[in-house]
């Protein structure tokens, strides 16, 4: 049976996650050189620690790992087959949702730009009207122009501020609604995917544990 020692395990980096749990199970407080079955590591610490133990703390473990890979291959193929459609559907929904979100942002941004352009045209129109009075000789001294200019420009700027503030608020609201819808769709799609992936991943995990157990039990080296 394949074995290692606590001292060998104590030297690998990163350390196994279940080091303290393993010590407690063995009734020990520190590493020693007593033989330790990798099956024990598998049972106490789990699959990840057992494979890491074989990789780093067992000499000549390649034959066990190769057998493990062969034994778990059918389960991995079954897993990939069982979730392939769910994964493809999730990916499709994500791509569509992102495109819709981007389009919503572009539309709302275009509307914002239109509001700004209209407000800027109002200011330009007020300035042009004031200059027209001067050029037509209606205000040769410029006094009336000065008063009219200040009044019209202030009105125009006040409208500009109101319109752009309202446009900015509309844009922000539209963006928030689009983002909320995006995350709603994505969350629903992820939930549907996990509904399929969760049980499949659990079955794969159990099959991998069984495959490693069988590989360890078969090895006589």
164-200 pLDDT per residue, tens: 677 677 777 877 888 899 899 999 999 999 999 999 9
pLDDT the model gives residue 98: 87
What is d(CA 191, CA 95) in angstroms, rounded to the nearest whole number?
A: 16
Cβ-contact 152, 125 below 8 angstroms: no
Residue with the larger pLDDT of the pair 37 and 151: 37
Q: How does pLDDT run across 134-145, given as a tens digit for each residue? A: 666 655 555 665
Q: What is the pLDDT of residue 156?
A: 66
Angle between helices 62-135 and 143-218 (to 10 degrees): 170
Among residues of the chain, what percentage have pLDDT more than 90?
55
Could you state, in order of their start, the residue ranges of all structural domains in the chain? 3-59, 83-208
């Amino acid at each position: 049976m394949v074995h290692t020692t606590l001292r060998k395990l104590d030297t690998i980096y990163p350390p196994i996650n279940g080091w303290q749990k393993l010590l407690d199970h063995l009734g020990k407080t520190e590493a020693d050189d007593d033989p330790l079955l990798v099956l024990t590591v598998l049972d106490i610490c789990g699959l990840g620690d057992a494979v890491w133990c074989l990789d780093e703390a067992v000499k000549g473990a390649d034959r066990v790992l190769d057998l493990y890979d062969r034994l778990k291959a059918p389960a991995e193929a079954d897993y990939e087959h069982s979730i392939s459609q769910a994964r493809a559907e999730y990916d499709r929904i994500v791509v569509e949702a992102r495109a819709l979100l981007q389009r919503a942002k572009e539309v709302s941004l275009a509307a914002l730009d239109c509001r700004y352009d209209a407000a800027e045209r109002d200011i330009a129109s007020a300035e042009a009207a004031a200059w027209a009075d001067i050029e037509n000789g209606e205000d040769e001294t410029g006094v009336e122009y000065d008063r009219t200019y200040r009044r019209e420009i202030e009105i125009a700027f006040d409208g500009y501020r109101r319109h752009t503030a309202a446009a900015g608020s509309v844009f922000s609201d539209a963006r928030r609604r689009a983002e909320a819808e995006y995350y709603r769709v994505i969350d629903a799609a992820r939930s549907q995917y996990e509904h399929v992936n969760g049980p499949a991943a659990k079955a794969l995990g159990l099959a991998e544990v069984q495959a490693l157990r069988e590989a360890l039990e078969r090895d006589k080296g």
